[in-house]
Amino acid sequence: MIPALIRKGMESLGYTSLLPVQEEVLLYMDETKDLFIQAETGSGKTAAYLIPVLSMTDSLCNDTQILIIAPTRELAVQIHKEAGALSVYAGIHCVCAIGGLDTEKQINALKHRPHVIIGTPGRLCDLLRQDVIDLSLLKYLIMDEADHIRSTGQAEEMNFILSKINDPRRICVSATMDDETASYLHEDYRKIIMNVSTEVNERIDEYCLLCKDKEESLFAILRHEEIESAVIFVNYKSTVKQLNQKLKQKKILSAPFSSDYDEKTRLKTIDAFKAGNIRIIVATDAMARGLDLPGISHVIHYDLPLDTNTYIHRSGRSAHQQNEGITISLIAKDEMDSETAKMIMNESSELIIDQTKTNDLTVPLAKEIKRNDDTVMILIRGGRNEKLRPKDIVGALTSRIAFEEIGTIEIQDQYSLVRIINHDASVIDELNGLKIKGKKRRIEISKNQD
C-alpha cells in the first residue's frame, strides 16, 4: 500500500500508473527475503525500489533507515533527486554523500540523522571511518547497478560497509547478474527478472553508415537528421576533447563527458543537457550505464563499441520510459571485418541521409520543465554556527504557516534550507521579518530547487 503523501510525490513526477517492474517489486515487498531486481536501464527500476521503501519509512523516527549505494557520483545524485521528489510531502529527509563535493556540508547534513542516505562506496567508507554515520537501525540496504560496483573496483569498499551495518533487508538492482553480485545477498533471496535480453530495445531503430571519413559523415548526420538531443560515444578520453572542440567550432551546443572532468563539471553538463541548453554530449562509456537522461532522441557510435554488451548499453541511453529512439553506428572500411561491425550491420538498416532536411543544433531545445509547482525551497540566513536547531526553525515558521506545510530541513554552518509545501515563491512575503531564536532572519528562495 502506497501512502497518500508518497502518491502525491509520484503525481508531481508525472506518474499516472506503475510500470511493470514497479508493480512486480511491490508484490514482494511485504516479504522478508532479499531481492535481486534485474531489469533494463530505463525500465523504471530506480522508482521500483524507491516507492516501496519510502512508503515504509517512518518520518517521525530520527534514525537512518535506508542506505542506497551507487557506483558513480552522477547516479547517486540522480537517485537523490528522485527520492527527494517522491518523498517531499512525506517529510522524509534524504542526504547525498559523494566524493568531489564539499565534505563539511555533507557532514553537517548527516548530523541531523537523515532517514535516507544515498552515496558512493568511497565517500561512505570515509564517513563511516569518521563515525559520522549511524547505521545501527538500518532497515534496507540497496545496491543500485550492483554489478557495476564490482566491475569498477569498489568491492573492497563494499565489504567494509557491509561489516559496519547490522542485518537489514538487502536489495540488489542491476541490468545483469552473476554469482559475485548475488553474493551481496543472503542465500535465500527472491529474483525478479524483467525484460532482460541480449538485444537492443525493440523501440530503438538501428542504423549504420559505411563511411570514408567519419568526421564528415558525423557532421552530415548532425546537419540533416531530426535530432533533438544526442549522445556521441567514443572509446578514448582524448577523442572526447578533440571531437567536442570541433563541434564547438561549428557553434553546436555540445559538452564533453569523461573521467577527465571533475564532478561539478559533469553534473553541470547533465543539468544543462536535461534543460535543453546542451544538445549534444560527447562521451566515453562512463555514460553508457546507470544514468537516466530522458529525451535522448539519438545515440551515435562514432567509435565502434568493443563488444555487443557495450553496444546494447550505449544504445539504451535512448528509448527510456516507453519512448522511442534511434541509434546510428559509423563504420569505416577498415572496421567492417570486426565481429562488432558484422553484428551491427546484420541488425541495422543502412542510414540514408535526407539532405533536403536541415536541423539546427546551435540553439537550445525548448523543453517543458516539470517542477513541483506547489513546493518551494527557502534559504534562511542562519545555521549551525548560530546554534540553530530544527525545532527553532519549525517553531518560528509555524507562527506564519501550518505545521503540515513544513517539509525537510537541512542546517548548514551559515544557512538552513527548508522545503515549504503548498506554496510558491510568494511565501517569502508571508515570512518577511520572521524572527528565529530572537533574531530577524533574511529569508530568500533557494537557487537550487532540486
Report the pLDDT value the prediction gives residue 70, as an integer from 0 to 100. 93
4-194 and 204-350, same CATH topology: yes
Report the pLDDT value the prediction gives residue 367, as an integer from 0 to 100. 62
For the chain, which residues make up each domain, given as ranges?
A: 4-194, 204-350, 375-445
Report the pLDDT value the prediction gives residue 371, as an integer from 0 to 100. 47
Per residue in 171-203, pLDDT (tens digit) is 999 877 778 888 889 888 998 877 655 567 778
Which parts of the chain have pLDDT scores under 70? 41-42, 195-199, 287-292, 294, 320-323, 367-373, 448-450
State the CATH class of domain 375-445.
alpha beta
> Could you please report the per-residue DSSP string of 318-332?
SS-TT--EEEEEEEE
- Pairwise CA distance, residues 441 & 428, whole Å: 12
> Is there a contact between 39 and 48 (Cβ–Cβ < 8 Å)?
yes
- Pairwise CA distance, residues 407 & 421, whole Å: 6
The grid coordinates of residue 246 equal 570541433
SS3 call for 143: strand
Model confidence, pTM:
0.67
Distances (CA, A) of 269 to 58, 127, 261, 273, 278: 35, 27, 10, 6, 8
Report the pLDDT value the prediction gives residue 372, as an integer from 0 to 100. 45
Give me the CATH topology for the region 4-194: Rossmann fold (3.40.50)
- For residue 196, what are the contacts with CB-CB under 8 A and spacing of at least 6? 38, 39, 40, 175, 176
Per residue in 297-349, pLDDT (tens digit) is 999 999 999 888 788 878 888 876 556 889 999 999 999 989 899 999 999 99
CATH 3.40.50.300 corresponds to the domain 204-350: yes
- For residue 356, what are the contacts with CB-CB under 8 A and spacing of at least 6? none
- Pairwise CA distance, residues 254 & 259, whole Å: 17
Paired residues of 330 in beta bridges: 209
Report the pLDDT value the prediction gives residue 197, as an integer from 0 to 100. 53
